[in-house]
A and B are shown apart, each in its own frame.
Chain A
Amino acid sequence: MLAPITYIQPLTTLRRTRQLPVEGLITVSLGDRLRGTDVIARTGLHKQHIMLDAARALGAPASRVSKLIQRVVGEEVEEGAILAGSRGLASRQLRAPAAGKIAAISEGQILLQISDASAQVQARVPGLVIDIDPGQSVTLECICAWVQCLWGNDLVGEGNLHMVADGPQHQLTADQIDMSLRGAILVAGHCSQRQALELAGQVPIRGLILGSLATRLLPVAEKMEYPIAVLEGFGKIPFNGDAFKLLSMHNGAATTLNAQANNPHSGERPEIIIPLTDAGHPPQPVEIQSFRIGQTVRVLSGKYKGQLGEIIELRGNVIYESQLRGPAAELTLAGGGRGRVPLANLELLG
């Protein structure tokens, strides 16, 4: 069976293709070096329009009115400019109520675009632009240390990594947060204190990486205006040792926290990217693996949840403690002892 993988990579080449939601204008060039918060494109979404009924304004039937419209799609107009009009003594005119651009004309109706609040698409990943599909996508490459997370509040931020946690069992409290942390991306263990999240927003910090988050704080974390990413999940789960060690090694390093929402369809997950210079050109991560004896895995659910272990045996069809049946792995657990875990509840650490 293909194993789900969470990547905790000390050194890798990360490639990301940022697809625009709709065709848009790419604003970066090949070879540009970007930060995660840089804008790579603008799309036409979120523009505002006014619809003007030329037929009604001119008192003309829809079949005739197209001849009376004096503008074409794409034309810029000033406020008060004549858009359509009839000639003669009793002539009527339709004027633009605001400055804008003619967005569309159909059946005697004119759609005037009055704002250009185009949607911006962020890079989310720092790195070098290595490919551009005009209007469609930008591909970035980054040599970095890379840690994938499980949940994110869909924001992105950049700052220097700051280890607040003194170990995987750390708990974040408000008294650990002060103005000296302004602009930093904090690494903390478990958070069950609403005040800590709110205070971090007031400082403000640039991001928060948590081992786990109390479930009842999920709505609070969703509303925070700085990026929050959770590695292990909801409830009190210790930070996994490998990720903790890696982040500790990079304490103080410039980091991008891409806390994008977990999207199973696109494969996008929240992630921590620590760009590394002078690190050569390491290989890209291996994406497809099956479970094998000797692999290090993390337990995703059940009584060993959050623990790391090594597979010592794979078994075809066993009865779990819940009495359900299915394939399982025997593990030696990093914390000591052995355990049998359904394969469905394991992931590889890549």
Chain B
Amino acid sequence: MSEGRPQSSNSLVAIDLGSVNTRAQFFDAVEGRYRFIAAGEAATTAGAPTFDTNHGVLQALAQLQEITGRQLLNERGLLLAPDAEGNAGANALTATFSAGPPLRVITVGLLEGVSLHSVNNLVDSFHCEIVDSLSLGDRRSPEQVIDAISQNLPDLVVLAGGTHRGASLSVVRLANYLALALKLLPESARPPILFVGNENLQSEIDTLLAPITKVYKAANIRPSLDQENLGPAEAAMSSLLYEVQAKKLGGLHLLNQLSETRLSHSAQAFGRTVRFLSTVIDAPKGMLGVDLGASTTTVASAFAGELEVRSFPGLGMGRGLTGMLAETQLQQITRWLSYDIPDEFVLDYLYNKPLLPATLPSTPHELAIEMAAARQVVRLAIGKSLPMFPANAIYPLTGTVPWFDRILVAGSTLTRHPRPEHSLLAVLDAVQPVGVVTVILDQNNLASSLGAAAAVDPVLAVQVLESNAFMNLGTVIVPVGSPRPGSTVLRVQLVRDGQKEEVVEIPEGGITVLPLAPGKAADLFVQPLQNMNIGLGAGRGGWIRRMVGGTFGLIFDTRGRPIQMPTSFNKRQELLQTWEHALTGGG
């Protein structure tokens, strides 16, 4: 539990401007601790017909005002300052945004595996689409490169290269290509350049490029061959992302003026929450966050406070379904359906949804299709994120995610499901975690907002994270290895309130649940059989202390990795229902 009380009983309104929905969330102190109070939601109005995000913001605030009974708007539509009694207005407003198309970025680095790799890492962690990359190893002719740069009409060019006191001539040569290419564009269409290379070259880069376009600079992202330093460049990128999007999204500038802190992109704010959680709730094995949005999926991991974020603008549950469908066989989606739905119906639904991203699944079949598609979107995003996870993390099985202590899941497709067992199964099927992991559901869609709020009041962020605003679905123990089908793979014993309970044998190939009420703690002794690995080493077991129960207690997922689904629909249906019943205790 975090120490302390709210510093000054500040109330806060957080606005999250999504690509489909805009949310207004209200936080206030209740009995000395910060709580999430309520949220209002409206359609995002970044596009036609208003092209002004503030319409959606005001509607969401009006709904929040109606729910809470607290006056937040005056006749002019502006947020009120708090009154003396603290019954109206709010002390602060923060905002995050993910609306708007991703930034089109050209990345330039000297060597593909070194500076270009780092600059791509930098850009991939933001709401950006890399439309072209250029390095010394580029096989295109200089004129082809120049034509490509000018024809791509990028929003931003990020140039890196040269270690500290390292190469200079080659970096200048690449900068010269950029200069030539940008001169081909009308001044109004020239993108800004962010230079994050050899700092000794900053003035030379300025001389060459500043007469052509705006040049921004940050510390070298690759000061030496084996060292990557993304921090300062990330701050500059964040600022540039806002600058470019503010020109495209009406109303963003005004929202930024109202906000306590510079508007941050939801992916970065989500990442901050993941990092924050990794530090405040002792997650030595690391923390994973997955935010499944309508247009973008964000994957964030934090190990001992070291954050990595990957944003996938082409993967999501609205317009982002197009990206998923482009690299997916239909069977990879339908394998998760427990209804016998014709392929054609599934395809029709998934191809219409990107055209109508705000629509909701109104029938059980449509909801099942969305949950199946969500698994595949997250699975793709996780697969693409594997290279970002640190090599020195614990990998009980190669080719999987490393052992994470916790997974934070956000995104309304997964969090709004009326039956949380479906959300939990979707997360397990999609991420396919290993080791011992607690799954936390961001049921109120707060994760990004708290990332922004933490900059204003860290105590608020901690206390809300510790409150029941998030749903602990349960702790999942996932052994991996090569067991005999149907055999026992684990022997476990729960010690609750100092009382040892009976030893339970956990069979291979399914999901088994040991009840442990939400919030209740117990110790668990786990003995893997057949050389199975729960993350402590093959065949090694031991005590797992102070396991805290969640909605579904303690869950043993012995389905193996990767999870194999039968091709026969009847068998698949039976299996899916068995897993669901295992969680709910149904027969």
Do they bind each other? Answer: yes
Whether a CB of chain B sits under 8 angstroms from the CB of A252 is: no
A253→B516 CA distance, assembly (Å): 72
A4→B147 CA distance, assembly (Å): 40
In the assembled complex, 12 residue pairs joining A and B whose CB atoms fall closer than 8 Å, in A order, are A1-B59, A22-B185, A44-B185, A48-B143, A104-B179, A106-B176, A111-B180, A151-B355, A215-B344, A235-B347, A264-B319, A288-B49
A45→B147 CA distance, assembly (Å): 9
Residue of A51, A216, A267, A288 near B143 (CB, 8 A) is A51
Whether a CB of chain B sits under 8 angstroms from the CB of A59 is: no
Whether a CB of chain B sits under 8 angstroms from the CB of A223 is: no
Please give, as numbers and ranges, the residues of chain B lying within 8 Å of A215 by CB-CB distance. Answer: 344, 347-348, 351
Please give, as numbers and ranges, the residues of chain A lying within 8 Å of B355 by CB-CB distance. Answer: 150-151, 233, 262
Give chain A interface residues in 299-338, CB to chain B under 8 Å. 300-303, 319-326
A52→B49 CA distance, assembly (Å): 48
**4 closest pairs, A vs B, by CB?**
A267-B48, A235-B348, A23-B186, A302-B362
Spot the interface stretch: B38-46, B128-136, B264-272, B502-510. B38-46
Whether a CB of chain A sits under 8 angstroms from the CB of B188 is: yes
Chain B interface size, under 10 / 10 to 19 / 20 to 34 / 35 or more: 35 or more
A301→B338 CA distance, assembly (Å): 21
Whether A322 touches B361, Cβ cut-off 8 Å, given contacts A21-B153, A49-B147, is yes
A262→B172 CA distance, assembly (Å): 41
B347→A216 contact, CB < 8 A: yes
B43→A1 contact, CB < 8 A: yes
Whether a CB of chain A sits under 8 angstroms from the CB of B358 is: yes
Please give, as numbers and ranges, the residues of chain A lying within 8 Å of B50 by CB-CB distance. Answer: 2, 287-288
Map CB proximity to A onto B271-303 as digits: 1 under 8 Å, 0 otherwise: 000000000000000000000000000000000
A287→B49 contact, CB < 8 A: yes
Residue of B43, B142, B358 near A51 (CB, 8 A) is B142
Which residue of the partner chain A has the closest CB to B348? Answer: A235
Which residue of the partner chain B has the closest CB to A263? Answer: B47
Interface size for A (C-beta < 8 A) is 56
Please give, as numbers and ranges, the residues of chain A lying within 8 Å of B55 by CB-CB distance. Answer: 2
Whether A109 touches B176, Cβ cut-off 8 Å, given contacts A49-B143, A233-B352, is yes
Whether a CB of chain A sits under 8 angstroms from the CB of B364 is: yes
Residue of A46, A264, A322, A341 near B47 (CB, 8 A) is A264
Whether a CB of chain B sits under 8 angstroms from the CB of A345 is: yes
Please give, as numbers and ranges, the residues of chain B lying within 8 Å of A22 by CB-CB distance. Answer: 153, 185-186, 188-189
Map CB proximity to A onto B169-186 as digits: 1 under 8 Å, 0 otherwise: 000100010011001111
Give, as a whole number of angstroms, the nearest-CB distance from A111 to chain B: 5
Please give, as numbers and ranges, the residues of chain B lying within 8 Å of A322 by CB-CB distance. Answer: 360-364, 366-367, 418
Give chain A interface residues in 73-110, CB to chain B under 8 Å. 73, 103-104, 106-107, 109
Please give, as numbers and ranges, the residues of chain B lying within 8 Å of A21 by CB-CB distance. Answer: 153
A323→B418 contact, CB < 8 A: yes
B348→A106 contact, CB < 8 A: no
Of A23, A135, A151, A234, most buried by chain B (CB within 10 Å of CB) is A234
Whether a CB of chain A sits under 8 angstroms from the CB of B208 is: yes
A234→B248 CA distance, assembly (Å): 30
Whether a CB of chain A sits under 8 angstroms from the CB of B146 is: yes
Residue of B141, B151, B248 near A46 (CB, 8 A) is B151
Residue of A104, A135, A302 near B180 (CB, 8 A) is A104
A47→B418 contact, CB < 8 A: no
Please give, as numbers and ranges, the residues of chain B lying within 8 Å of A264 by CB-CB distance. Answer: 47-48, 319, 357
Whether a CB of chain A sits under 8 angstroms from the CB of B262 is: no
A218→B347 CA distance, assembly (Å): 11
Give chain B interface residues in 243-261, CB to chain A under 8 Å. 248
Please give, as numbers and ranges, the residues of chain A lying within 8 Å of B185 by CB-CB distance. Answer: 22, 44
- Chain B residues close to A by CB (< 8 Å): 42-43, 45-51, 55-56, 59, 100-101, 141-143, 146-147, 150-151, 153, 172, 176, 179-180, 183-189, 208, 248, 319, 344-345, 347-349, 351-353, 355-364, 366-367, 416-419
A83→B366 CA distance, assembly (Å): 66
A103→B143 CA distance, assembly (Å): 12
A341→B180 contact, CB < 8 A: no
A234→B419 CA distance, assembly (Å): 29
- Chain A residues close to B by CB (< 8 Å): 1-2, 4-5, 21-24, 44-51, 73, 103-104, 106-107, 109, 111, 135, 150-151, 214-216, 218, 233-235, 262, 264-267, 287-288, 300-303, 319-326, 341-342, 344-345
B180→A2 contact, CB < 8 A: no
Please give, as numbers and ranges, the residues of chain B lying within 8 Å of A216 by CB-CB distance. Answer: 344, 347
B186→A44 contact, CB < 8 A: yes
Give, as a whole number of angstroms, the nearest-CB distance from B368 to chain A: 9
A49→B146 contact, CB < 8 A: yes
A300→B356 CA distance, assembly (Å): 8
A267→B248 CA distance, assembly (Å): 13
Give, as a whole number of angstroms, the nearest-CB distance from B354 to chain A: 9
Please give, as numbers and ranges, the residues of chain A lying within 8 Å of B357 by CB-CB distance. Answer: 264
A49→B49 CA distance, assembly (Å): 40
A218→B351 contact, CB < 8 A: yes
B184→A2 contact, CB < 8 A: no
Please give, as numbers and ranges, the residues of chain A lying within 8 Å of B359 by CB-CB distance. Answer: 300-301, 342, 344-345
A342→B185 CA distance, assembly (Å): 47
Please give, as numbers and ranges, the residues of chain A lying within 8 Å of B187 by CB-CB distance. Answer: 23
Please give, as numbers and ranges, the residues of chain B lying within 8 Å of A104 by CB-CB distance. Answer: 179-180, 183-184
Please give, as numbers and ranges, the residues of chain B lying within 8 Å of A107 by CB-CB distance. Answer: 172, 176, 179, 208
A5→B43 CA distance, assembly (Å): 13
Give, as a whole number of angstroms, the nearest-CB distance from B407 to chain A: 23
A12→B211 CA distance, assembly (Å): 48
Which residue of the partner chain A has the closest CB to B364? Answer: A322
Please give, as numbers and ranges, the residues of chain A lying within 8 Å of B45 by CB-CB distance. Answer: 2
B208→A233 contact, CB < 8 A: no
Which residue of the partner chain A has the closest CB to B42? Answer: A1
A103→B184 contact, CB < 8 A: yes
Please give, as numbers and ranges, the residues of chain B lying within 8 Å of A111 by CB-CB distance. Answer: 143, 146, 180, 183-184
A216→B186 CA distance, assembly (Å): 42
A321→B364 CA distance, assembly (Å): 7
A326→B367 CA distance, assembly (Å): 14
B418→A325 contact, CB < 8 A: yes
Which residue of the partner chain B has the closest CB to A320? Answer: B362
A345→B180 contact, CB < 8 A: no
B146→A321 contact, CB < 8 A: no
Which residue of the partner chain A has the closest CB to B358? Answer: A344
A322→B347 CA distance, assembly (Å): 19
Please give, as numbers and ranges, the residues of chain B lying within 8 Å of A49 by CB-CB distance. Answer: 143, 146-147, 184
Please give, as numbers and ranges, the residues of chain B lying within 8 Å of A300 by CB-CB distance. Answer: 356, 359
Residue of B46, B47, B56, B367 near A323 (CB, 8 A) is B367
B418→A267 contact, CB < 8 A: no
Which residue of the partner chain A has the closest CB to B49? Answer: A287
Give, as a whole number of angstroms, the nearest-CB distance from B343 to chain A: 10
Which residue of the partner chain A has the closest CB to B48? Answer: A267
Give, as a whole number of angstroms, the nearest-CB distance from B178 to chain A: 9
Residue of B189, B360, B417 near A345 (CB, 8 A) is B360
B356→A233 contact, CB < 8 A: yes
Give, as a whole number of angstroms, the nearest-CB distance from A41 to chain B: 12
A342→B248 CA distance, assembly (Å): 31
